[in-house]
Structure 1
Amino acid sequence: MTASSWLLVALPALGALILLLAGKRARTWGHLLGTATVVLAFVYGVILFFAGDGKSTVDTTVYSWIPVGQLQVDFGLRIDALSLTFVLLITGVGMLIHIYSIGYMAEDEGRSRFFAYLNLFIASMLILVLGNSFVTLYLGWEGVGLASYLLIGWYQGRPSAATAAKKAFLMNRVGDVGLALAIFLMFKYTGSTGYAQVFDGAANGQIPPGAITAIAILLLLGACGKSGQFPLQAWLPDAMEGPTPVSALIHAATMVTAGVYLVARSNAIFSATPDGRLVVTLVGAVTLLIGCIVGCAYDDIKKVLAYSTVSQIGYMMMAVGLGPGIYALGIMHLVAHGFFKAGLFLGAGSVMHGMNDEVDMRKFGGLAKKMPITFVTFGLGYLAIIGFPFLTGYYTKDAIIEAAFGQEGWRGWVFGLATVLGAGLTAFYMTRLMMLTFFGKPRWKDIKSSDGRDFHPHESKPVMWIPMAILAVGSVGTGAFFVLGHRFVNWLSPVVGRFEEADHTPIPSGTVPAMTLVLAALGVLLAVWLFRPSRDIPVERPERVAWPVRAARKDLYGNALNETLVARPGTWLARALVYVDNRGVDGAVNGLAAALGGGSGRLRRLQTGFVRSYALSMLGGTFLLLAALLLVRFS
């Protein structure tokens, strides 16, 4: 069965190829073909899931890809518990997003091309998670980057969309350089880029400790770019310029989870370098707080959810950085996040669909009565993400918080308090989103949309709300699977190691869940009080605000930091190199050409065409030669 695992990639890839070649001729059926390929891939993934035992690792060589001297790279696929988890997540959530897109993109002229790009995205992600070498992973990594560029910039007539797509593409290239350099170092020390050889080299000391740490940090740089982690997180909120299904696809189950997958897949490398793991954990802690703080200040519903993703990926990155025995918790939260974040984004798209594509929450209000299905499905995702007891997020996020408190020394306090504070802030900004959108006065009655139309909010079509309902059920029900006998972490243990609970915490372990619930409850109550239905919420955003709000609205100066540390020095370096090229390289070449041209012009004057001139030159040369001989003879 696993010998045909290449079909998982081939099905969506074939769909993308057919739709791109068919062009406008696929206008009436392209969306059906694009969706069908992902449905078939999901069905085949389920078959592989039940056919395997979850304990074995099966590598399948499809063909010899790069046979060049010592560099022998096969295009191979690896089926194990980790890759199958991602296959089911990518194809399952991706299938629901495809179905949702049938309704959401119904009026778009380029709908078939949109589904071709979605198929390309899914195929690239499957190559990324199924490849059995870092070079194959890199192929999928770059394919996802291309597809995301095409999808984020879908609305080509909007300068903001073009800018967002370019920003995402360039910032991801920064991370890709790190991943490429890590692969070069792996080949230098192990002579291979295959997982088996590299991980064996890390375990048996073939790779020196310093090189392992360098490889781990370079891998983390790649993960930061793809998963929107500090300091490369600024592109992720701007990616909201794409259609809402794209936001759901990028944020929920595919692109931004690739960095977490990379670290978890490379657990043998990170387990061998405590310094590398510490950097991963610090990056995750800083990122989750940045995402939470900025999410409190935005009024754009999609950008609030985008920074929520930044924060939740920070939790996952912290978990996979906490070390051996904890990796599975990061993947567990990743799977839970795939359900509730996809549901939240699709719910936001449903709200926008009924509100003339408006994204400003200050212009919403009272939509619970107008869009009851969207309200219920979105509400279940909201309860899951804030960690409401016995829903999915309650089990996954709390497990990470307890593991963070279980670290030794100062790390337990710093990482534990960061995760608890993040839980309280998450409850605040998500409750704020719920209050502004679904409760209170219907502020949309007194204003018009940006295109001058009146608002007529209405429930979305079944093709849109059915996927939302399925994701809402997943947001609620997967928690039981996670908690019953640690089924999920036991399923992943052959790949990422057995889960080990912390044997010591700076505070009694039983108080950690209670403290988390108390802070989350305080966040909810504060948001309800500040944005209560009886309060008059201004439709226009107030500009005179405290400095923390101003800083959060400016993304905590993340863009300014990247501009100062990367963009401006890069511009200055480029200008300096252009100057050196113009004045140095071009100057030397042009100067030599000018010297030869001037010299040849002067020599040309000696060619007069008169015999007497040539005879005089010969006579003069003879006298000079005799003089030189005499000087040598008598010296």
Structure 2
Amino acid sequence: MTQSVGQQLIIAAIPGLPALVFLVLALFGRYLKEGAQYVAIFGVATSLVFSAFALYFVVRTGAPLDFAVNWINLGPGGSFPIGVYVDGLAAMMLVVVCFVSLMVQLYSGAFMQDDRRFAWYYAILNLFTASMLGLVVAPNFIELYIFWELVGLCSYLLIGHWFEKPSAAKAAQKAFIVTRIGDAALFIGIIIFWRATGTTDFSAISEAAAAGFVGGSVLTTALILVFVGAVGKSAQFPLHVWLPDAMEGPTPVSALIHAATMVAAGVFLVARTYDIFVQSEQALLVVAYIGGFTALMAATMAVVKKDIKRVIAYSTVSQLGYMMMALGIGSYTAGMFHLFNHAFFKALLFLGAGSIIYAMNSYNMFDMGGLRRRMPLTFWTMVLAGLSLAGIFPLSGFWSKDSILAGAFEEGFYLLYAMALATVFLTAFYIFRAIFVAFTGEARTDGAREAVESPSIMTGPMVLLAILAVVSGFLGIPEGSFGLPIRDFFSALVAPSEFTVEALELETHSFNYVLGAISVAVALAGIGLAYALYVPKPERAAALARRFAPLHTFLDRGWYFDAIYDKLFVRPAMALGRATNVFDRRVLGSMVSGFGRGVSGLGERLRPLQSGGAQNYALFILVSVLVIGVIVGAQYGFLVVALIAAVTVGAVAIGTRL
């Protein structure tokens, strides 16, 4: 369908406005000072309105917004267009990214009010939002990769916002380096697709693969490389180690990274290229099992953490694993539905944690206690977010997580189903462990005793997100559930293409009451265990940790992944760097300086030849000619030598008279 110029401008303005705000704040932020937040909020709020327009258009017409212009022309080698492609999936993501970014920017007005780089913070926040929005609307790999790298750059700048802290600087470097591994793999995968098909357009590559122009091991290899890129951005095993350390950044940044940008980019990439992935069963299995393992692994790490932000961070890694597993087993709609719901309750959990940190300036849950009475609004919003994360009926998290579990069971992935069900138990346990420790009992420190509720500019976004954590799941309830005339709006919006449905032989699954009841019962058991260990007698948990000290240490150290990577990669790389530095300074440096000294000395010795006398210069030229004549004469005979000698003697005689 052809779009009007006005529609094209509106769609282009969705990422364009936050990018423009970045330029304004980067250039004039020092003059705007506290007013920077109003410019930033206006930009992202306008993008949200335009995103709602795009969603309305896609829903009303059933057709995507699609237009492009030629960017780079390679002649017979092809061309790279730049444009936008907004279908139901992209429209949903645009609304989610803009809404969560708006909530974070409103919240940040109070949380970051005393920061000396206040305007710069908002500038990068808007560039981050613009980069994610550009990634979402990209119709091809090249355009996506440009915004993909911008997202990584912005995360580096925001995680290291307080770069004066060594831990923040190191965390930013770690995030940047680890995600670059995935980015390199993604770029190689893009090159393979381009060489095999002559295009980087998603739909064109899918059609080429279906026609047999790329297939077999080449297709699977390219897809796995693309997935490695998603693994890096979405912090999946084995490139998950950067995300917990990213908690060194400001808490509102954590909410944005974990809910709607950066980590969501990897899941979105797999979803956007799903028509290609379904043509390789092996690639989908890799996605499914990496996701399932990541979900369980990260959940085990979260159960022992004391830092409330790290608990929520590992929760993000785990939930992203759920989404990847769903995509891998063919539950495309369920995976995207969980991404949609997760954005709201995960942003709320981070903003709730930020509210506590703002009130008492501590990240340690065991420095808190008794905050339920002092911060009731923060408490109840976090409880709603925790229940949604745990998958308790009828909150939003229940509907999407249950769809994933049902998909795994009904498609015959019983091992993945068991892993996901175990993750449900652990998820409910660790999030309510954090809530019970922080909000119940007596205050453990002066900071907890003096804490008060956060200002309304912070609690307001939390309330809005809490409402969505309850009701957003109603958009995707399976049709006919509980005998009610319910329409599954979400599935209709982001439904996979007919090609994907045929390739996977997908069928619409109705709500499974037995599986739903099992998942809720398992989640309630996790909450019950958390209550038993941390509310009536908290010393039980401490005794249990001492009894299983090796296991506790193993989980607390993150399965020793950081230690293993440090020994296998970091230390050898640092040693190689030091050796290269020594070689550069001592060997290459000495060679270069020695060569320089030699040339300088030769110049000093040749300086007397520059006497200024014409006779000397003529003599030097003639002698040189004589030498050349001798060399040539050796090949062409005595006559040439004699001729050159005669000319030389004559020239010398003339030069002498001069």
Whether the TM-score (by the shorter chain) exceeds 0.5 is yes
Three-state SS of the structure 1 residue aligned to 2:214 is: coil
Cα distance in 1 for partners of 2:298, 2:427 equals 9
Task: Please show how residues 45-194 of structure 1 align to structure 2 within 5 Å.
Answer: 45-53=51-59, 55-61=62-68, 63-69=69-75, 70-194=77-201
Kindly tell me: are residues 64 and 443 of structure 1, through their superposed partners in 2, closer, same or farther at Cα, counting changes over 3 Å?
A: same
Per chain length, whose mean CA-contact separation is higher, i.e. which structure has more relative contact order (CA < 8 Å, sep 6+)? 1
Contact 1:203/1:268 (CA < 8 Å) preserved in 2? no
Work out which of the residue numbers 8, 20, 23 in structure 2 matches 1:17. Answer: 23
Three-state SS of the structure 1 residue aligned to 2:445 is: helix
| Aligned-pair CA distance for 1:66 | 2.4
Match of 1:487 in 2: 489
2:340 corresponds to 1:301: no
Kindly tell me: are residues 468 and 539 of structure 1, through their superposed partners in 2, closer, same or farther at Cα, counting changes over 3 Å?
A: farther
Task: Please show how residues 517-596 of structure 1 align to structure 2 within 5 Å.
Answer: 517-535=520-538, 546-571=549-574
Match of 2:230 in 1: 223
Match of 1:244 in 2: 251
Kindly tell me: are residues 363 and 587 of structure 1, through their superposed partners in 2, closer, same or farther at Cα, counting changes over 3 Å?
A: closer
Contact 2:231/2:237 (CA < 8 Å) preserved in 1? yes
Match of 1:393 in 2: 397
Matched letter for residue 546 of structure 1: A
| Aligned-pair CA distance for 1:589 | 9.5
| Aligned-pair CA distance for 1:242 | 0.6
| Aligned-pair CA distance for 1:272 | 0.6
Contact 1:2/1:60 (CA < 8 Å) preserved in 2? no
Cα distance in 2 for partners of 1:85, 1:261 equals 11
| Aligned-pair CA distance for 1:540 | 13
After the TM superposition, which of the residue ranges 538-547 and 282-291 deviates more from structure 2?
538-547
| Aligned-pair CA distance for 1:563 | 2.6
State, as a whole percentage, how many aligned pairs show the same letter: 37
Three-state SS of the structure 2 residue aligned to 1:29 is: helix
1:543-596 Cα deviation digits (max 9, x unpaired): 785211101110111212333443345456657877998999999999999999
Kindly tell me: are residues 599 and 367 of structure 1, through their superposed partners in 2, closer, same or farther at Cα, counting changes over 3 Å?
A: closer
2:401 corresponds to 1:407: no
Work out which of the residue numbers 465, 470, 473 in structure 2 matches 1:476. Answer: 470
2:343 corresponds to 1:349: no
| Aligned-pair CA distance for 1:502 | 6.8
Contact 1:439/1:533 (CA < 8 Å) preserved in 2? no
- What is the TM-score normalised by the length of structure 2? 0.84
Work out which of the residue numbers 321, 330, 333 in structure 2 matches 1:314. Answer: 321
Kindly tell me: are residues 564 and 320 of structure 1, through their superposed partners in 2, closer, same or farther at Cα, counting changes over 3 Å?
A: farther
Cα distance in 2 for partners of 1:294, 1:104 equals 28
Q: What RMSD in Å do the two structures reach over aligned CA positions? A: 3.3
Kindly tell me: are residues 273 and 538 of structure 1, through their superposed partners in 2, closer, same or farther at Cα, counting changes over 3 Å?
A: closer
How many residues align? The count is 596
Match of 1:330 in 2: 335
| Aligned-pair CA distance for 1:427 | 0.7
Cα distance in 2 for partners of 1:275, 1:587 equals 54
Cα distance in 2 for partners of 1:495, 1:126 equals 22
Contact 2:58/2:65 (CA < 8 Å) preserved in 1? no
Match of 2:290 in 1: 283
Contact 1:440/1:534 (CA < 8 Å) preserved in 2? no
Match of 1:443 in 2: 444
| Aligned-pair CA distance for 1:291 | 1.1
Cα distance in 2 for partners of 1:572, 1:71 equals 44
Kindly tell me: are residues 190 and 522 of structure 1, through their superposed partners in 2, closer, same or farther at Cα, counting changes over 3 Å?
A: same
1:487-535 Cα deviation digits (max 9, x unpaired): 2112111558459777999xx9653223222221221111111001454
Match of 2:212 in 1: 205
| Divergent runs of 4+, >3 A | 494-505, 508-511, 533-545, 568-601
Match of 1:358 in 2: 362
Contact 2:545/2:552 (CA < 8 Å) preserved in 1? no
Cα distance in 1 for partners of 2:85, 2:528 equals 47
Work out which of the residue numbers 458, 463, 472 in structure 1 matches 2:457. Answer: 463
Kindly tell me: are residues 155 and 540 of structure 1, through their superposed partners in 2, closer, same or farther at Cα, counting changes over 3 Å?
A: farther
Kindly tell me: are residues 547 and 30 of structure 1, through their superposed partners in 2, closer, same or farther at Cα, counting changes over 3 Å?
A: same
2:221 corresponds to 1:214: yes
| Aligned-pair CA distance for 1:26 | 1.5
Match of 1:8 in 2: 14
| Aligned-pair CA distance for 1:237 | 0.6
Matched letter for residue 8 of structure 1: I
| Aligned-pair CA distance for 1:113 | 1.0
1:476-496 Cα deviation digits (max 9, x unpaired): 001211105332112111558
1:199-253 Cα deviation digits (max 9, x unpaired): 2112211113111101111011100110000000010011111111000000011
Kindly tell me: are residues 307 and 276 of structure 1, through their superposed partners in 2, closer, same or farther at Cα, counting changes over 3 Å?
A: same
Work out which of the residue numbers 268, 274, 292 in structure 2 matches 1:261. Answer: 268
After the TM superposition, which of the residue ranges 528-537 and 38-47 deviates more from structure 2?
528-537
Kindly tell me: are residues 196 and 535 of structure 1, through their superposed partners in 2, closer, same or farther at Cα, counting changes over 3 Å?
A: closer
Contact 2:326/2:334 (CA < 8 Å) preserved in 1? yes
Match of 1:418 in 2: 419
Contact 2:326/2:404 (CA < 8 Å) preserved in 1? yes
Match of 1:28 in 2: 34
Contact 1:227/1:258 (CA < 8 Å) preserved in 2? yes
Contact 2:275/2:497 (CA < 8 Å) preserved in 1? no
Work out which of the residue numbers 488, 495, 513 in structure 1 matches 2:516. Answer: 513
Kindly tell me: are residues 473 and 503 of structure 1, through their superposed partners in 2, closer, same or farther at Cα, counting changes over 3 Å?
A: closer
Greater Rg over alpha carbons, structure: 2
Matched letter for residue 563 of structure 2: A
Cα distance in 1 for partners of 2:590, 2:358 equals 60
Cα distance in 2 for partners of 1:592, 1:467 equals 67
Match of 1:628 in 2: none
1:324-352 Cα deviation digits (max 9, x unpaired): xx211111000000010001110110111
Cα distance in 2 for partners of 1:540, 1:533 equals 14
- What is the TM-score normalised by the length of structure 1? 0.86
After the TM superposition, which of the residue ranges 107-116 and 454-463 deviates more from structure 2?
454-463
